Structures are given as structure tokens and as C-alpha cells.
Chain A
Amino acid sequence: MNAKIQVVLCKCCSEMPKLLNIARLEKLASESGNVLSVMTLDGLCDGKELTQIVAEARAKEIDRAIVLACQKKDVSPALIKAYRRAGVNEYLVGIVNIREEVVLPHTAEPERAQTKAETKLLAAIARSRLLQPLERSSEDMKTRNVVIVGGGVAGQAAAREAAKYGVHTIILEKTGKSITAPGVVMPRARLIGGKGYGGNFELRIKVGESVEDLGAASIVVASGGGWATLKGALAKTVKGALPLYEFYQKLQLDQVPAGTVVFMDTPDPAGKTLKVQDFAWDDTLETAIELKKKRPDTAVFVVFQEMRASGLSELAYKEAAEIGVKFVRYDRSATPKVDPKDPTVLTVKDLSQGEVLKIKLGAMVFASIPASQDNQIIAEALRIPMSPDGGIRRGSIQRGPVSTPKPGVFVCGSALFPKSRDVAAAEGEAAGKMAGEFAARGSIEYGGIVAQVTQEKCSACLTCVRTCPYEAPFIGTATKAEIRVQACQGCGMCVGICPSKAIELLNYTDDQIMTESKTLLGGDF
């Protein structure tokens, strides 16, 4: 292969020229095979010097590039755009993060920094030689349907917001209750199955007794939550144990019994199943504060093993502590107990103080409760993961609070876990916006770094089919695995587990990874 590589060194951060011998790096690069152009620039971020890169890349007919720079967000898109102008495929532009990985950690050791920079440069060149240009394609969505599963508070909010994007909203409501929402409302309709991928889902729904197919560009799961009975050792022993949301309602109606109130993570502290979602902690803290403010004389405890409030709710720790809510952390090895003979006293060892507390219980409130039974069916139909306490699992609380790991499927309200109406409505609006925007795009982009099957090696063992969270691999008519490229997210899970090495991730092939690793670490392995 005749790779024509350009190496660009960015001096932007002032530490780099002070610490590293730029001339030596330039020499090393220019003496490497396939490197036709070496440029040192003052700073890539301001964009002015990108024109120089383009001109040089064009003049030397460069087809791939390695840029030693930093990981600043605006650097790589601008670079890729510039290289595209020079006719370089975006998948052949590699950035070596010289600032965060070399300059900053080794400020006091110039020699180590130099060696590391040189090794990383050589490894990047070695890998670059083996890379293939990749393309992305697009596919039109067959429908503009946004299907919303559930017509409660969250589902209605989702429909209102999605409709603003000019898409066609369809609410599947399992009951026969009348719902005012834009688009179509299908009463007595349930989601029972589905296939496809974000942009082109084919859903199977049951309306009354008949089964129908329904296309969807995107989906909002707003199936609500169940107010299931508490399960777990403590809930069984303590009389009047309550789930958080029931307690919250009682608090609004001033029906909370007198005496000490203990908020606890789970009624099954020794078990493995019930975990507390982060949002439940937000609500626990808010409820504890509200209770303490309403009834300052009531002793309020929050007993937990591990607590995590999200975002600004972290301020609630401080506020709660300031108004006298007591926090007690316990350890898994000494879980809180209630003596069945005297179920009004909770014994807990405070991890921070080391002392054993005996708390006389007025009410005991648990943050974790099992979610709706419907979630299981919906999760199986859409092949999306569930959280340990039976809700639908969101992607990431920070980056995708209403997204599921599957592109095009969004989730909101009590389907995540039971919550108050206002929070459910807010989440519904967010999920509706996401789903509306997704469907309004009209087409999906796919390709680039995706999995690829070498069919001669495949023994149709189904391991990839079982492993992929996006349903990209399937066994085709030739009884060999194939990849549904539109669904492939390039995560590499099938590649890692394939026992026959029949699947590779484009531009992360074994050969490319091993060549890079061997240059980095030296030697043969």
C-alpha cells in the first residue's frame, strides 16, 4: 500500500516547545516511511493555519494525516473539515493527544516526555499506514411516526412536544381512557414486539384482540410505573413501611404519623436486587427537607449505603444537614436490622462514627420500589436493557437522561422508576423533543467504523447475535453472520467475542491494533 502521510505538530500550548525537542520529532517523522510532509504550526485552534495544511496536503497529494495536538473539542471537527477540502478521508485523520497524554503528565521529566512523544508518533504512523478510507451512507426513513408507548402524564407531554417537529405522533394507551393529545391516540393498544433500528422500526402492536404492524421512526417509552408492594426483609418486619412516593403524597395531605422518620435506600439491604436510581436520591433529599421544614421537631434520618444525588440536587445534602436531617451511612457487612420481636426499633451501625444507633421508628420510607410489570414486555419487544429494580434503563444520567442505549428509543416518566407528576411531565417533554427531532431528520446516517464479517470464517455460532445490544448481526440466508449496517454502532462487542475471528471492526482491526501496540510497547506478543 502506498500511504501518503502528513504529520502535523501543533505548538499551541506553550508547554510543548519548552518540554519537547520539536526538531527531533520533525526529523523522526520525516525519516519514517510513507511520511511525505511534516509541518509544525503555531496553533491549530485559531483555524488560520488550516489553509496551510490544506495547501500542503493538496500539493503533496496526501491521503492520510496524523496531528499531534490536544483533545480540544473544536480542533478535530475543524481539522476533519479542512482535510476533507484537501480530499483526505475523515477516517484517515488521526489525532495524537500530545498535550494531555505527554506534556501535562510529564512536565517535570523532559526526557521521558520526549521518548513518549516519539513512541506515540511512531505508533500512530504505523497504524495510519494500515487504515482504510471509510464512507458513511444514508437511508430514508420510511415513516415520520413517533410512537409513544403510554398515554399518561409523560406520554401526553411527549406527544405535545414531538408534534412541534411536524412529525406524526401515535400514542398507544393500554386502557380505554380518553386522552387529549395531538396526533393519533390508540386506546387498548399495547406494544408486544418489534424489530428494526432507529429511523426504521417495525413494531407489532395488539389493539384490543387484533395484532397489527406499525412503522416508527422513533419511540418514546412512557409506560408509567407500578405502585407495587414493597418487598424485602425490612419492609416485611416494619409495620407501616412506605415507598417514597406514597410517603410524599401523605406528606402533602398532612397524614404523616408522628415520631421519627427514617428514609432508607432499600428494604432489602443484604440482598442484591434492589438498587436505588440516582433520581430517587434527589427526591428522597427533597422530601426529607420538606418534612423537616414542615415539622422541625421530628427527628429525620437518611440511612444509606451509597448515595448519589444528581446535578443541583447535590446542594440538597448541605441544606438537609443544615436543618438537622441526620445522615447515617452503613456498610454491607453490617446491614441495618429490625428485631422482629420489637419491630419499632432500627439498629444500624454508623460507618463514619463507628457507633451503633438504635432508632425508634415512627415511619420508615424506602427510596427503591419495583417498577411497572409492563416494562418487561416493552424492554423485550424493543430489546432495551432494564435497570436492576425493574425500570427501563436510561443511557447516561448526565448525557442522556431520557435516552436508552438504543438510538431512536427514548424513555421518560415512571417507566424509569416511579416519580411525581411534574418530574414525569418534564421528562416527557424532553423525550418528546428528542424523539420528534430524531424522526424529523427524515433519514439516518450510518456506516464508517462498523463491524464487518469474513463469512468464510463464520460458523454461525450465534454468539454475535446474542451479544450485540443493537441487533446488528443476524444469520443471513447463507447461514453466515451478516451485519445490519444501519443498526451497527461500531461498539466492537461482537468483534471481541467472536470465537472464530470472523468479525472485524473497520479501522480497529487486529492487525492495526497489534501493530500500534507493538510499536508502543516494543517486542513481539
Chain B
Amino acid sequence: MIVAKRKPLNEIAEMLAPYKKVTIIGCRSCVAICLAGGEKEVKMLVSALKIKNKRDGRKQQIEGTVVERQCEKEWVQEIEDEILDSDVTLSMACSLGAQTIGDMYPKHLTFPGLNTGIFGVPEEQGVWSENCVGCGNCIIHTTGGICPIARCAKSMLNGPCGGSANRKCEVNLEVDCAWSAIYDRLKLQNRLDLIESVTPAKDWSASHSGGRRVIVREDAKLTQHQKKGKGVT
């Protein structure tokens, strides 16, 4: 899932300070599950800001609400009135949600309440680790199911590097060396020959290097005719 973390209260308060009417919008999907921007976090932030405003003597009207998935226009549309009725919207979704609102209502101000971080897996409650960077060309079938692009500091395709020692990474001794883990996994699977075969340079065109990426599923796209029937253009 997409894992994010709420910005510090003071940073949020400063962002919102010039505005009289604030609507804070959470999201029930990834950011709720990673305990960053669900209904609970929205309610807590609303209360925290109200208490801070009271202490700082600032007058501001703050409302909070939450939508099913903020990255989808249909869900955002359901709270259009609440958005447009405010001077500024603080999105408690990942940046996708914040940008969806921004794109739908370009004249309206939408600010981010979270710092969007990683595609993460919950290691345990409260701990998420980055296991994928969305490079667009998955190779983990050759690396024992462990992604060297996300989990190696140098994103090496042929590893480990000379900085790997005692299964740790030279960048930070707290970080496990991805290639040590790959070696162990391949050994377990009796496929150590894979570590000896050289992987040629990767085609990075599917990654971010080519500018903004778009994934299209032609057969699922609606035709102009269908869109018109739904009143969508």
C-alpha cells in the first residue's frame, strides 16, 4: 500500500494560518490503513488545530470529513460542497488524493497534510518497509523474490557490492544488505546459479526517467459514446 506520514502540527498550522475556513479531508484507503489519514487521524487533527488556535488566539473554522478513495473523482465529487465552501482544503490522503482534488477544482487551494512516502509492507504494527519503487519492469523472479531496486541502496542489478559486510549495508549498518538476502533466498531455493549469471543493464524507460508515466488498459477504456451516455466527457 501507499504509506504516508502526517506533517508536523506546526507545519500544518502555519500552512493554514492565513485562511478562515478550512476543510480537512481524509481517505479511507491506503493512508487509513497505515494510520496516517483515516477518519481517526482527521478527527484528531481537527481537534488538535482547534486547541492550538484557541491557545494562539486565532479564529478559524475547521471541519473534517473523509472519503472512500480520494484519488477517484466520483468519491471526491460527493463532497464538492464541503470543498468549495472552504477557503482551503487540507488533504489527508497521499499526494494522489491531494492532486485529484487540485485537478478537479484548480481555482481552489488544496494543501497536503501528509508526506507521501513509500509503497510499503507492514512488517509489524506501526512499521512499514519499502519493498517496491514501481520501476515498471519487475525482475524479482530472478532475485529470489526480493527487489534489489527498492531494497539495495545502490539499486544494483548484480550484487552484492564491496560495501556489504556481515549482511549489512555500508550506507547504514542498521539496514540489511538486499543482496545478502537474495543470496540466502536463492540458496534456500537451490538456485544459486542465478547469482552468478550477469544481469545486463536494465531498460529504465518504464521507470520515472521518461517523465510522467501513464498506464493504459485499452479494453477497459470507455468509448466516447459510453462516456457521453454517463454524462462524462
B47 touches A525 (CB 8 A): yes
A461 touches B33 (CB 8 A): yes
Task: Write out the residue numbers on chain A whose beta carbons fall within 8 Å of the beta carbon of B35.
Answer: 463, 497, 499
B40 touches A501 (CB 8 A): yes
Q: Determine chain B's interface SS by DSSP, over half rule.
A: helix
Complex: how many Å from CA A498 to CA B41? Answer: 10
A459 touches B50 (CB 8 A): no
Complex: how many Å from CA A510 to CA B38? Answer: 16
A500 touches B50 (CB 8 A): no
Complex: how many Å from CA A500 to CA B33? Answer: 8
**Cβ of A72 < 8 Å from any Cβ of B?**
no
Complex: how many Å from CA A480 to CA B54? Answer: 39
Residue from the list B34, B39, B125 in contact with A457, Cβ < 8 A: B39
**Cβ of B185 < 8 Å from any Cβ of A?**
no
A524 touches B50 (CB 8 A): yes
B39 touches A499 (CB 8 A): yes
Task: Write out the residue numbers on chain B whose beta carbons fall within 8 Å of the beta carbon of A524.
Answer: 50
8 A Cβ contacts from B21-72 to A: 28-29, 32-35, 38-41, 43, 47, 50-51, 54
Residue from the list A467, A499, A523 in contact with B38, Cβ < 8 A: A499
Task: Write out the residue numbers on chain B whose beta carbons fall within 8 Å of the beta carbon of A499.
Answer: 32-35, 38-41
Residue from the list B32, B43, B47, B54 in contact with A461, Cβ < 8 A: B32
Task: Write out the residue numbers on chain B whose beta carbons fall within 8 Å of the beta carbon of A497.
Answer: 35
Residue from the list A467, A500, A510, A523 in contact with B32, Cβ < 8 A: A500
Interface membership of chain B positions 189-211, coded 1 if the CB is closer than 8 angstroms to chain A and 0 otherwise: 00000000000000000000000
**Cβ of A466 < 8 Å from any Cβ of B?**
yes
A498 touches B40 (CB 8 A): yes
B54 touches A523 (CB 8 A): yes
Output the nearest chain B residue to A522 by Cβ-Cβ distance: B54
B29 to chain A, nearest CB (A): 7
B170 to chain A, nearest CB (A): 27
B38 touches A501 (CB 8 A): yes
B33 touches A466 (CB 8 A): no
Output the nearest chain A residue to B34 by Cβ-Cβ distance: A499
Task: Write out the residue numbers on chain B whose beta carbons fall within 8 Å of the beta carbon of A457.
Answer: 28, 39
Task: Write out the residue numbers on chain B whose beta carbons fall within 8 Å of the beta carbon of A467.
Answer: 125
B125 touches A463 (CB 8 A): yes
Output the nearest chain A residue to B31 by Cβ-Cβ distance: A499
Complex: how many Å from CA A498 to CA B35? Answer: 8
A344 to chain B, nearest CB (A): 35
Complex: how many Å from CA A498 to CA B125? Answer: 12
Complex: how many Å from CA A523 to CA B52? Answer: 13
B54 touches A459 (CB 8 A): no
B28 touches A500 (CB 8 A): yes
A459 touches B125 (CB 8 A): no
A498 to chain B, nearest CB (A): 6
Task: Write out the residue numbers on chain B whose beta carbons fall within 8 Å of the beta carbon of A510.
Answer: 43
Residue from the list B39, B51, B125 in contact with A500, Cβ < 8 A: B39
Residue from the list B32, B40, B54 in contact with A525, Cβ < 8 A: B54
A520 to chain B, nearest CB (A): 14
B43 touches A459 (CB 8 A): no
A501 touches B43 (CB 8 A): yes
Output the nearest chain B residue to A466 by Cβ-Cβ distance: B125
Complex: how many Å from CA A523 to CA B32? Answer: 29
Task: Write out the residue numbers on chain A whose beta carbons fall within 8 Å of the beta carbon of B33.
Answer: 459, 461, 463, 499
Among B29, B34, B38, residue most surrounded by chain A Cβ atoms (within 10 Å): B38
A500 touches B40 (CB 8 A): yes
Complex: how many Å from CA A461 to CA B40? Answer: 14
Task: Write out the residue numbers on chain A whose beta carbons fall within 8 Å of the beta carbon of B41.
Answer: 499
A500 touches B47 (CB 8 A): no
Among B29, B32, B43, residue most surrounded by chain A Cβ atoms (within 10 Å): B32
Interface membership of chain A positions 459-488, coded 1 if the CB is closer than 8 angstroms to chain B and 0 otherwise: 101010011000000000000000000000
Task: Write out the residue numbers on chain A whose beta carbons fall within 8 Å of the beta carbon of B32.
Answer: 459, 461, 499-500
Task: Write out the residue numbers on chain A whose beta carbons fall within 8 Å of the beta carbon of B43.
Answer: 501, 510
Residue from the list B29, B39, B54 in contact with A501, Cβ < 8 A: B39
Task: Write out the residue numbers on chain A whose beta carbons fall within 8 Å of the beta carbon of B125.
Answer: 463, 466-467
Task: Write out the residue numbers on chain B whose beta carbons fall within 8 Å of the beta carbon of A498.
Answer: 40
Q: List 20 contacting pairs A-B, 8 Å CB cutoff, sorted by A.
A: A457-B28, A457-B39, A459-B33, A463-B33, A463-B35, A463-B125, A466-B125, A467-B125, A497-B35, A498-B40, A499-B33, A499-B34, A499-B39, A500-B32, A500-B38, A501-B38, A501-B43, A510-B43, A524-B50, A525-B51
Other than A459-B33, A499-B35, A525-B51, give 11 A-B pairs with Cβ distance below 8 A.
Answer: A461-B32, A461-B33, A463-B125, A466-B125, A497-B35, A498-B40, A499-B38, A499-B40, A500-B28, A500-B32, A525-B50
* 8 closest cross-chain pairs (CB), A and B: A499-B38, A461-B33, A501-B39, A525-B50, A499-B32, A500-B38, A466-B125, A499-B35
